[in-house]
Amino acid sequence: MRNKVLPCSPDSPPSLLCPELKPVFLAHQNPWFKVMSRGSYFTLEYERPQVVILPILEQDSIVMVRVKRPLIGDCPLELPAGDSNEEETPRAAAMREFSEETGIHIDDSLRFVPELPISEMSGRMPVLLSVFRVDLSKSEFESRLKHDNDIISIEAVPFAEALRMIADGEIYLCSPVAIISRFLLNNRLNTLSPDGKLQ
């Protein structure tokens, strides 16, 4: 029987999903993550909660960031994301990361609404990513300030274009594909006719 994934609390980090896997040994540690041996599994575990932000612009576009990624030799489109600072809640981390990566400053924390979390790598990462949606106005998008240096551009991708780019492989990183697809699928399902058919 499949477990239903519940939303992570916006004010507390997600919990470890595999406490029964033992024995547990530390294989490697650095300031960002640990590699743990848990039973017969080696896991990649971040030191602090990880967050992803789904910014929706004027109910018709998704705000994405184009990021330099030397390891894959590309600058793919991504959703703003990152890890928490020490003692920072997931919601506070989402607010800060969104501001740093897009240059758009939102002061009201309640505008960052928790969505269902996702698993980025189910065979290696035993903690879910916290996902937050934030709705933006055109004026907020157009008045953005300076952003992180590794961000090449901030782009507003219309919903239909995002679907095409996912289908064509232009948006290909796993968490943006999953989060955007789920959001657009939910939008489409909400337009079902009374007889259950897509309109």
Per residue in 73-93, pLDDT tens?
Answer: 999 999 999 999 888 999 999
Structure-block tokens of residue 104: 């758009």
Return contacts of 104-109, CB within 8 angstroms, 24+ apart. 104/55, 104/63, 104/136, 104/140, 104/141, 104/143, 104/144, 104/145, 105/145, 106/134, 106/136, 106/140
Quick: pLDDT tens for 94-116: 999 999 999 999 999 999 999 99
Domain extent listing, the chain:
24-189
Tell me the pTM. Answer: 0.89
CATH number for the segment(s) 24-189: 3.90.79.10
pLDDT of residue 191: 75
